[in-house]
């Protein structure tokens, strides 16, 4: 079993992960909106002003509402607080310290549907709205990091 150092996921890093996934899944809507805007601007330049208003006023509100809807899902409460992980071949246990007691949440390896290696994180994906980022620098040694990759991470990638 691997026990990691205590860590937190910065809210801005989690936001960037969610935003990239949202953009990659919805890129065709963005292209369609830009195409419609280009067509409308050819007929009347006032549509450009409306588009700029929407871009700078409405889009940030929509993005923030989307972020808050992800973060406030009860299953995502384990992402941002300080915690450490206990990892073995069958499960990942998050241990969050709340005042004097510890709160544990267990995630069986079969629960994860996909995984990606990012620059600073191992990103384990549970479903469309649930991500489980694990910082790459929380392992005590290179041996623990390699053991995690071989016994857990690559197993998750093969499951999908």
Residue with tokens 């691997």: 2
C-alpha distance from residue 43 to each of 53, 54, 113 (Å): 18, 19, 47
Cα 154 to chain centroid distance, Å, stands at 19
What's the confidence (pLDDT) of residue 122?
Answer: 94
Average pLDDT by consecutive 10-residue portion of the chain (160 residues)? 91 85 81 80 78 81 82 77 91 86 89 92 87 92 92 82
What's the confidence (pLDDT) of residue 92?
Answer: 93
What's the confidence (pLDDT) of residue 136?
Answer: 92
Closest CA to 94 of 82, 76, 106, 102: 106
d(CA 50, CA 36): 13
Sorted by where each starts, the structural domains of the chain and their CATH numbers stand as 2-9+77-159 (2.30.29.30), 16-71 (no CATH)
d(CA 52, CA 57): 8
């Amino acid at each position: 079993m691997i026990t990691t150092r205590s860590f937190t996921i910065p809210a801005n890093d989690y936001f960037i992960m969610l935003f990239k996934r949202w953009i990659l899944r919805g890129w065709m809507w963005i292209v369609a909106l830009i195409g419609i805007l280009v067509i409308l601007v050819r007929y009347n330049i006032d549509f450009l002003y409306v588009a700029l208003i929407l871009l700078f006023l409405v889009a940030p509100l929509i993005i923030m509402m989307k972020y808050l809807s992800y973060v406030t899902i009860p299953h995502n409460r384990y992402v941002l607080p300080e915690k450490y992980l206990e990892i073995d071949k069958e499960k990942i246990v998050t241990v969050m310290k709340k005042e004097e007691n510890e709160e544990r949440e267990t995630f069986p390896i079969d629960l994860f549907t996909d995984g990606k290696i990012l620059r600073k994180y191992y990103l384990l994906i549970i479903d469309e709205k649930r991500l489980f980022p694990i910082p790459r620098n929380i392992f005590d040694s290179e041996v623990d990091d390699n053991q995690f990759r071989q016994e857990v991470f690559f197993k998750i990638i093969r499951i999908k």
